[in-house]
Structures are given as C-alpha cells and as structure tokens.
Chains A and B, each alone.
Chain A
C-alpha cells in the first residue's frame, strides 16, 4: 500500500491505496464521493468524469497513485455552496432525466465555461462529446450550457446570486 495525499474539493485528503486501485473506485469506495459514476469503465461514456487540475478526465482510466499532489474536483465540490449558474440553467431547461450522466456533463461544461465563457452550441457539443446521455437529452443539455454562457455567468463554479422573485 502507498499513502497518497491530494486535494479533493478544496480539502487535503490522505488515503492508503494499492498501485492497482483505480481512482474512480478509491473516490467512491474509500472516500465516499459518489458523484463519479461507474459506467463503461473503459473511457467511453464519461460518467466517471472528474476535474484533475481543472481539466475533465476519465477517473476510470487513472490509477489512484497517479494523483499524488494534484487537485481533484468532483460534482460535490462544484455545487457545495449551492447550485452554480450553470446548474441553475440545467434545472431551468429540465436538462436531465435519470441523471446518471449529469455529474460528468456538469463537470465537462463547467471546465468549458471557465476556459471559454461564451461557447457556441458546437463548442459545447465538442466539450461533452464523450459524455453519453441515454435519455437522449442532448438538445436541452447543450442549450443550458450555451444559455449559461450567454447570460455572462463565466464564473461557472460560483453559486448563482439568488433572485427568487425571478423564479
């Protein structure tokens, strides 16, 4: 076993892992972070997406030992102070049905908006191209992310200013 320390959603975490343990399983089973989902386990479906040093990656294709010293953000870290403007936009558009793909898609779109605050529909499509939704909700998902960008909510990770009168 090796002891590794990394930042998980803003907090330093230390955990003992065997080299063959996959990051996705360690996050879920050893650290109790359940938003990354176990889907295809071969990098195709995007359900296990996490942000590693700010970039969306497949946690099913990373060994836990590899992330020593790095920064990981999961959905739990994105919405910890309440839903972000992007998440609010997803809610307004009723963009998810079963929600299995949602953590991955929210993270992929969050990373996109941080890099490119006003993406086109095509750019959103490209950013989430490896995140499969089997409820076929892509249109609403894409529109949500485009609208979040259009409304100038570039700081996608900050929670939305609550204007309950508008809802």
Chain B
C-alpha cells in the first residue's frame, strides 16, 4: 500500500522562504518535520496536499534550550531528544515521563513534540502534559510572530489555532514558580507501544495546588478546572481523592472508538486521577515511585 496522492516536495534554505512558500500555497501545502503522523495520513488518504514543505534543515528549530525561565522545545526536537535532555530530566521530569511512553524508540527518534501538538489528535500524549505546565506555542507566519497559550491551541480533533502560512517554531514550557512534582498516567490496551485509551497528567505544587489535564477522553486535551478548584489547599485524604476522581469524570466527554468504550474510559479516568494525584503528591514529598513507572500496573488503590 503506497501513497496514492502525488505532491511536490520542497526543502527551502531559510525559514522565511518556507513561510513565504506556505503563505502562497495556503491550505494546499503542509509542513513536514518528523512525518510519523503525516506520512501515515498520506498513506491512509486522510490528507491530500499539493506540496510538502520540509523544515528539517533549519538549525534555529533544532534542539532543546532554556530561556527566560522556560524550557524551549524547538519544532524539530524529537521525543528522543526530550528523553536524552539533562535539562528536562532535572527540571521537567513530568515531560520526560510522558516522552518515555510515546510509541516506541524507532518512532520517538523521528517524531517531534511540536508535531504531536500540530497533529492534535485527541489521544496525543504531549497535550495533557503541556496543558498542566501552561506551555506556550510560538508561531511564525507572513504577519510576524505570535504566541498561543496551550489552552487556546487545540480547537478540535486535528484542528489547532494555526493559520495558513504559519509554522510553529517552538513550544516553551515555563519552569514552575513553586516546587512541583507530577505524574503522567497512560492507559493502553497492552504493555508496550499503543495509543492512549485515556491519559491523565497531574502537576502538584507545594502549597497544595494541583493542575490536572486529560487526553483521549474529549475532542482535545483538556484541563480539569473544577477538580483543580476542589483540591486547592486541601490535604489529599482518601475521601477527597474519591471525590476528585468522580468530579474529574464530569469534566470529560469520552466517546466509544476502536480502542475503548466511553463507559470504560470514564471508569478508568476515575481510578487514574486518584493514582496520579497520589503519586504526584508523594513525589512532591520526596517519596513515591520513580518517574517512568506505570501506576496502572501497580497494586495501589
């Protein structure tokens, strides 16, 4: 099964040339970075562009840095880059925990974090984690640069706030102002690589503040503001965890698809929220399991 649609391929020398080209060709053109989603979509005839603009040559989009107290993930930073970054390991362990659960090594070597949020499928792993970190998407287009808070980035399944002619140049992740610890829980049909049936990201801050976000249980990665309000300033008692799990289920709108039923998703999100909160709080207190473990495989309540 090969790719049915024919298209032109260009690899411009500079970012501004790429933007000009994209602006001229509008919706007929698509940006190509790692291609792990895009080439699959081309194979499945989900998209039929006239032109692919390969941005892999641009040095300014490569790598991971730190600027203005925020992690800068260049548009070409792969999930493997995230896993290998000392900076991420030290200061953004929740991001690392998520990256380690994306597909497999062979895909992570190619797939980019920015590509993940540009594909914007409901089950994208980066979405919930970037949501709880209050990340910012940096975009450059024919009319200059703009910043889009991650909360305004996702508009629907495979729909984002990007406009024709624009390229995402990076996503920045602010360093939490207070001491923080997190937990990313990904529910899969089996161990090993799979897309999420549901995912939950929790970032817990000293002072008993919590941020929660969910993946694969709504058209986009969403925060759980009511659950966050319920938990604010509270000690995580067994009763409160129970209540939080139940409230979280009211904040999601899961559907039934090939990976799961909506009922199963709801039931499991309740459990996942409890475990993610408990784990994040334990990590914040310097206890708790190391990052990277799958709390859905542990015998915790």
| A binding-site residues for B, Cβ under 8 Å | 2, 18-22, 25, 41-44, 46, 49, 52, 55-58, 60-63, 65-66, 68, 104, 108, 126-131
Contact = CB atoms under 8 A, between A and B. Distances in A.
A2 B9 contact: yes
Interface stretch (B33-41, B59-67, B132-140, B163-171): B33-41
Main SS class of interface, A: mixed
Contacts of B103: 43, 130
Given A25-B2, A66-B56, A131-B106, A61 B9 contact: no
A13 B35 CA distance: 23
Contact of A130 (B3, B35, B107): B107
Interface residues of B, number: 29
Nearest to A18: B6
Contacts of B192: 129-130
A61 B36 CA distance: 5
Contacts, number: 87
Contact of A58 (B5, B36, B80): B36
A57 B56 CA distance: 15
Given A61-B36, A127-B105, 17 more contacts: A20-B3, A21-B2, A22-B2, A43-B103, A55-B80, A56-B105, A58-B106, A58-B110, A61-B39, A63-B9, A63-B32, A63-B35, A65-B9, A66-B56, A104-B106, A128-B105, A130-B104
Interface string B8-46: 110100000000000000000000100110011011000
Given A18-B6, A41-B43, A46 B36 contact: no
B177 interface: no
A57 B1 contact: no
A130 B9 contact: no
A42 B52 contact: no
Nearest to A125: B192
B105 A61 contact: no
A62 B39 CA distance: 7
B193 interface: yes
Contacts of A129: 104-105, 192-193
Contacts of A22: 2-3, 39, 43
B105 A43 contact: no
B105 A19 contact: no
10 contacts: A19-B6, A19-B7, A20-B2, A43-B103, A43-B107, A56-B106, A58-B106, A60-B39, A62-B110, A66-B35
A108 B40 contact: no
Interface centre among B6, B36, B104 (most CB of A within 10 A): B104
B40 A20 contact: no
B39 A55 contact: no
A142 to B, nearest CB: 13
B40 A61 contact: yes
B42 A20 contact: yes
A13 to B, nearest CB: 19
The 10 A-B pairs of least Cβ separation, nearest first, read A130-B104, A19-B9, A20-B3, A55-B109, A61-B39, A56-B106, A129-B104, A130-B106, A65-B9, A61-B36
Nearest to B8: A19
B54 interface: yes
Contacts of B105: 56, 108, 126-130
Contacts of A127: 105
Contacts of B32: 63, 66
